[in-house]
Structure 1
Amino acid sequence: MARLLNIVENLDTTTTFYDQIGGEAGLHALVARFYDLMDLEADFKALRAVHGDSLDHAREKLFLFLSGYLGGPDRYIEKYGHPMLRARHLPFAIGIQERDEWVACMGRAMMDCKVPAPLQEHLLHSFFGVADWMRNKDG
């Protein structure tokens, strides 16, 4: 708990996370790097397998979702309605390995895109909770 409080204390709370990432351009770069890493790195093989042949649709949806999630425009809601994340992910087999690969891949993408360290830590903590909630298979 003390570590989480320290992370929160070091966050910039004067601007949105969306703005701290670099707004639309920064978020596009982050999402592109995330899916490029997933597509290229063997460390993310199980995660990549969940996504099917093309990552194009997933790239668009993650960008739209993260825009609102990070305090920017609610693009996902405008286009698709309420995210209903768990329900939308039920068709995909998501276990501990896929959860951990998703979080690790996003962590590497944030590092590569030079997201401020306190924000990276805060978001990884948040993303882990969401990714864990998406799990729908054992192991």
Structure 2
Amino acid sequence: MSSQYNPTSPFANGPAANDAAEGGADGGVPIPSRFGEPLATLQPIPVSVGRPQPSTSGPKPDDEVDYSDTFYGQVGGHEVFAKIIHVFYQGIAADPLLRAMYAEEDLGPAEHRMLMFTEQYWGGPRTYLEERGHPRLRMRHVPFAVTPEARDRWLAAMRKGIDAAELSPMHDATLWDYMERAAHSLVNAPSDPSQAL
């Protein structure tokens, strides 16, 4: 595209000059037509007009946001996801192999992070993104030896969490399918260290 001045362009001289050339801001810029009369007049959008974007700073209670068209809303929202993740973390705490992957003495912060992630993934509040940025699941799990055995134990704990929520068969299958695929994708070490490449 040429950067030369084009006197035939309605936008050649910037908004202020165009408004003046067209008879002021109220006149707008005509959209030409090959049939003679302009098709319409392009009006500038005043800064004060428009719909502000909703604030994303801080989570809103579920009763203030409509999640009904999301998986998150369809299964019951925060209470259901909190139950799944809480039961899951009870399983993590009881499994020596999985518990060893958490340096924190208190699993509460890890439970909170997992809850934020799963709620956001399934259409709930975007708190995880605001607090922690992009999930980067594989990157965040690189420091840990995620073996097939660890994966299977993780899935067993997650299965108990999902079962505790008593979801409909369709929602259960959808959620479980994702958890299985995610768990398999994070395996980064063989069960036997001697099998490492």
> TM-score, normalising length from structure 2?
0.57
- Unpaired runs of at least 5, structure 1: 1-13
Q: Which residue of 2 is the match for residue 96 of structure 1?
A: 148
**Quick check: 1:70 aligned with 2:122?**
yes
Contact 1:18–1:71 (8 Å) recurs in 2: yes
> C-alpha displacement at 1:20, in angstroms?
2.8
**Identical counterparts, % of pairs:** 31
- After TM superposition, the structure 1 = structure 2 runs for residues 1-139 of structure 1, keeping only pairs within 5 Å, are 15-40=69-94, 44-52=95-103, 53-139=105-191
- 1:63-93 Cα distance to aligned partner (Å, 9 max, x none): 1100111111111111111111100111111
SS class of match (1:71): coil
**Distance across 2 between alignment mates of 1:98 and 1:70:** 24
**Distance across 2 between alignment mates of 1:49 and 1:58:** 13
**Distance across 2 between alignment mates of 1:71 and 1:118:** 17
Aligned partner of 1:79: which letter? Answer: E
**Distance across 2 between alignment mates of 1:70 and 1:120:** 13
> C-alpha displacement at 1:21, in angstroms?
3.0
> C-alpha displacement at 1:48, in angstroms?
2.4
Aligned partner of 2:120: which letter? Answer: G
**Distance across 2 between alignment mates of 1:20 and 1:94:** 32
> C-alpha displacement at 1:15, in angstroms?
3.5
User: CA RMSD for the aligned pairs?
Assistant: 1.7
Task: Say how many residue pairs are matched.
Answer: 123
> C-alpha displacement at 1:54, in angstroms?
2.6
SS class of match (2:106): coil
- Structure of larger gyration radius: 2
> TM-score, normalising length from structure 1?
0.79
Contact 2:83–2:164 (8 Å) recurs in 1: no
> C-alpha displacement at 1:131, in angstroms?
1.1
